[in-house]
Structure 1
């Protein structure tokens, strides 16, 4: 028989026996302090904070495995915590339980320069990794903006500004070490670049948001630093013109490394936040990687493309300081937008569509935000059809909350109807569960069957990805 998540809650409200067992095993590593618990129920959305019953600071993979074994014995939920930058409530504990803080698992275990691979623990952050690699001539390209942990980036299938050339986490993870729901430690692959041996468990875990296992080690592909990097920006009269230029850039197979869209309001926010003087109109930020001659050729081809769509003032440079200044403005987009209405809450949402539908989807979304009267800058990794809207809302105002919810809902449905997805990067968590059936149909039942098979007691981050996940009893 099966029980719903609601029944699971009533059956496991009292986790005191599990906490006593955890305290006996871990002592001061375990905290039941209210403030600590609330910090680990942290969510960067408007979703209510739902703290766990206790927080364990894990020191190694064996701590994780032992804790999961205890929780599985008592059927108490377990949520893994990295840096806390997830955006759809993935870290909340709607049924209480144990949060395992992974930040101390931050060792870079092995760099294999010849194979262009690295193996790290999940608490390593992307900035920490690239700082470590700075003298090797190699780098890790996935850049979601926030200094996220590698484990968290695996869990949410993170992407970012470099995805148009280097792919997303699913493209750069070779193997994982994972603690299963029973507390067993398994490996899902090797350092080989490919394999035809069995099910692809690595890809199954990537993007599972901690519902199928807890990652304790990650083996990643690395890439060589380019001889020359050129960055620049150009302006357009309309968002549609900018998106059409992006589409042709991709269709012409220009090996562009980054191509980011900022709408006029986002540019205004960046100007005010960082004291810049950019033209407040839809703008593309671009970056080219290659040899000096190759970068010049790419830049000239891009110049020819944007002229067709009214792109103007294209200026690019290979100066490193100028490049960092340019991209810092892009990375500050969240904080810059928030400053447009500092008393409000910032709600970031995203969607992704085929590149041929990008202009239509972004333009329709921009019109929707404008007509609603909301403040909602748009920024996107438009080279792969992904864009974000940051809505600034008073969460104490029911009308604003309803308006924002309507914008998010229409965007999700619009993207799905264009054969896209309701989220290209942020994941489902709690915030976008209601779109799963429309996007995946009967495949949701297969996902739930996998969840039930791998986690029969439904202890791994329950209540995420879909409402009322089924458990076997």
Structure 2
């Protein structure tokens, strides 16, 4: 949906629209650039076109819309001072992490100053006794887990891309482990946030790291999923978990989509504490086989992973195998050692690129609806039938353990008829999910393109409440304007 809600399709996402300042309520003057340079240093600011264009788009299909200036703050004090300067001059602020988002969240719709936070990359406080860690916004999930390797702990939220952890907070990311360990919303303990006027807020109180609280409004959760529209996240305290004693992964093929998804629902309804359960349809499996040089049967397939003690994992595997076989599933193909598991999950995480490789030269757009798990078989079967009837390329992959799945639409932007058909399909898919009491986005966020769908999802009163919250935190509407509400 995000591709089309812009009102028109851009022919090439790599090209930026002309940089026009005349429509803006501010002007970036040489003096203002000098003031920014004074605050962050000569080597931490750029107005070069190539740099601005790099920061004007993410992995989505939205056209590049660059900021006027890019800065690389080194600490929270610099973030605060620059935010205060922008607030004084009514200049938009756009936070930037790794640029791996899929809904245009970093597009500078009204220009402004991009805060690239990648150079704030310290792991500040690891507490192995209390199972938490505090990180700066430039730390990515892979960097954190590499740092934790000898501690016996790990951070399980895994959206696929090596995204920045504070960026994952901003979009409320999840991924393959969410069915067992939850999303970012479940794993954030405290946040340090620079508000638009430069004030610094600690959402749970300075340096606090409790596991639960009933102290007032939940400000931490308010900023999780706010997509940079309320403030700049400069520090996150995150929940950690013990590395499981035993880990086993398996692959199981099915004769039909219905059989694979029914197995998923039944495994969850039986209370099996599965760590990962991912669905790939036959088109997606075929793409992954070709892209990753694999040899899985070209059938609807589940990728599963089990965590726990040796005895516990064996019991989980036995129960899950009985359920899959009752639904016509094949025997499990096992991946027990780390190298085998990495190969299996790398193939799953490469699904986006495998799908694009089906039609070289085309572009991709990933839907991410989420429904109650009891509705999952119905919506995936109906979506698969819709894809076939519409004759569209849209392999399906999903975190079906929590009711979330993706159609990776691969299309030729020069083919107006195909663009129209994809738009109609994605609209039908989103509204099909809403009709089943689901959501238009399980993990990618609203960004630019799903604002209308958000209105349909939460209603007029909900949107008005969100706008009021936005106004309280950002009265001048300079924080990532044009996103979410």
Same fold, judged at TM 0.5 (above): yes
> 1:445 and 2:464 equivalent?
yes
Contact 2:325 2:331 in 1 (8 A): no
Give the Å deviation of 1:347.
1.1
Contact 2:26 2:91 in 1 (8 A): no
User: Which range moves more in the overlay, 374-383 or 44-53?
Assistant: 44-53
1:163 to 173, 178, 195: 178
Distance in 1 of aligned mates of 2:309 and 2:387: 42
* TM-score with structure 1 setting the length: 0.95
1:337 to 345, 352, 355: 355
Secondary structure in 2 aligned to 1:197? coil
> 1:458 and 2:473 equivalent?
no
5+ residue gaps in structure 2? 1-20
Contact 1:84 1:91 in 2 (8 A): yes
Structure 1 counterpart of 2:442: 424
Distance in 1 of aligned mates of 2:481 and 2:34: 22
Structure 2 counterpart of 1:196: 214
Structure 2 counterpart of 1:140: 155
Give the Å deviation of 1:27.
4.3
> 1:385 and 2:408 equivalent?
no
CA deviation vs aligned residue, 1:129-154 (integer Å, no higher than 9, x gap): 00000000000000000000001100
Distance in 2 of aligned mates of 1:263 and 1:74: 51
Give the Å deviation of 1:313.
2.5
Distance in 1 of aligned mates of 2:40 and 2:145: 33
1:271-286 → structure 2 map (5 Å cutoff): 271-286=289-304
Query: What is the RMSD computed on CA atoms of the aligned residues?
Result: 1.3
Give the Å deviation of 1:121.
0.4
> 1:241 and 2:241 equivalent?
no
Count of residue pairs the alignment pairs up: 459
Structure 2 counterpart of 1:15: 28
Contact 2:40 2:72 in 1 (8 A): no
> 1:63 and 2:81 equivalent?
no
Contact 1:139 1:223 in 2 (8 A): yes
2:367 to 349, 358, 363: 349
Structure 1 counterpart of 2:166: 151
Distance in 2 of aligned mates of 1:360 and 1:148: 32
Contact 1:9 1:95 in 2 (8 A): no
Distance in 2 of aligned mates of 1:295 and 1:213: 42
CA deviation vs aligned residue, 1:169-222 (integer Å, no higher than 9, x gap): 000000000001110111011200011111110000000000011000000000
Structure 2 counterpart of 1:225: 243
CA deviation vs aligned residue, 1:34-88 (integer Å, no higher than 9, x gap): 1100100122222111111110011111111111101100111000000000000
Give the Å deviation of 1:395.
1.4
CA deviation vs aligned residue, 1:223-265 (integer Å, no higher than 9, x gap): 0001100110111111111111101111111000000001101
Structure 2 counterpart of 1:470: none
Distance in 2 of aligned mates of 1:79 and 1:352: 28
Structure 2 counterpart of 1:5: none
User: Which range moves more in the overlay, 45-54 or 17-26?
Assistant: 17-26
CA deviation vs aligned residue, 1:316-348 (integer Å, no higher than 9, x gap): 342222211111111111111111111101111
Structure 1 counterpart of 2:69: 54
Give the Å deviation of 1:24.
4.1
2:380 to 352, 362, 365: 362
Secondary structure in 2 aligned to 1:231? strand
Contact 2:97 2:138 in 1 (8 A): yes
CA deviation vs aligned residue, 1:372-418 (integer Å, no higher than 9, x gap): 22111100000000001111111122222212211211111111111
Distance in 2 of aligned mates of 1:40 and 1:366: 36
Measured at CA, do residues 323 and 24 of structure 1 come closer, stay the same or move farther in structure 2, by a change above 3 Å? closer
User: Which range moves more in the overlay, 361-370 or 374-383?
Assistant: 361-370
Secondary structure in 1 aligned to 2:104? coil
Structure 1 counterpart of 2:6: none
5+ residue gaps in structure 1? 1-7, 467-473
